[in-house]
Amino acid sequence: QVQLQESGPGLVKPSQTLSLTCNVSGGSISSGFYYCSWIRQTAGKGLEWIGRIYTSGSTNYNPSLKSRVSISIDTSKNQFSLKLSSVTAADTAVYYCAREYQLLSTDVFDIWGPGTMVTVSS
Amino acid sequence: DIQMTQSPSSLSASVGDRVTITCQASQDISNYLNWYQQKSGKAPKLLIYDGSNLETGVPSRFSGSGSGTDFTFTISSLQPEDIATYYCQQYDNLPITFGQGTRLEIK
């Protein structure tokens, strides 16, 4: 059974870079029709899709964050990562990694990590 | 971006009630819509995909319908464990977007 787990600092200073990693266990990150995605949740904006990466390395980002976001994948470690630069208090959120399954016309976030709270504060 | 508007934003109902949540897309998204349940302190869980398909293992009291811009999510007989916030999500166009959520409480 595939499981995802986010890890990274819970506190980041303003203007610095937020870095999170999602470790995938119970299955290979390279198998199947999957994207590795990042989603965040704030009280003010609800659930916000940040972006995703395919096992080939191709990426898609939310235009609202595109200038500050980078998602990478390391298939040898079965993990993928998020970097968000120049953070402000508005980036304070619970960050989730999720498996995005695509087949034909179906596209779902079928497996989620438990989420990790990141606070931006000096 | 495609805007997803859910209503109501909160709902109070009794055990056994039929509960309906609506989701409206700002443009035609065909049936490219999913529904998720999020319990307090937990990650969202997929319930319905492609507008009306029940995810494996999800109780049959949950259902979804609709296409185009208007969608409905229904719980046929509310159970105490259904207390959660429910979200719709479109994947017709990037960026993927979610509704603002409907918080469901027991009366």
Taking only residues 57 to 116 of chain A, the set having a beta carbon closer than 8 angstroms to any beta carbon of chain B reads: 60, 62-64, 96, 98, 105-110, 112-115
Q: How many A-B residue pairs are in contact by the CB < 8 A criterion?
A: 50
In this structure, of A18-32, A78-92, B4-18, B60-74, the range with the lowest mean pLDDT score is: A18-32
CA distance A28 to A117: 26
In this predicted structure, the answer to whether residue A107 has a pLDDT above a threshold of 90 is yes
- What is the predicted pLDDT for the residue at A61? 98
pLDDT at A32: 73
- Interval B63-93: pLDDT, tens: 999 999 999 999 999 999 999 999 999 999 9
Q: What is the pLDDT of residues B34-45, one digit of tens each?
A: 999 999 999 999
Q: For residue A91, name the pLDDT band (cuts at 50, 70, 90).
A: very high
Contact B100 A46 (CB under 8 A): yes
Is pLDDT above 80 for B31?
yes
**Contact: B46, A114; criterion CB under 8 Å:** no
- What's residue B100's pLDDT? 97
CA distance B16 to chain A (A): 28
Picking from A2, A107, A111, A116 by the largest number of B CB atoms within 10 A of its own CB, the best residue to mutate is A107
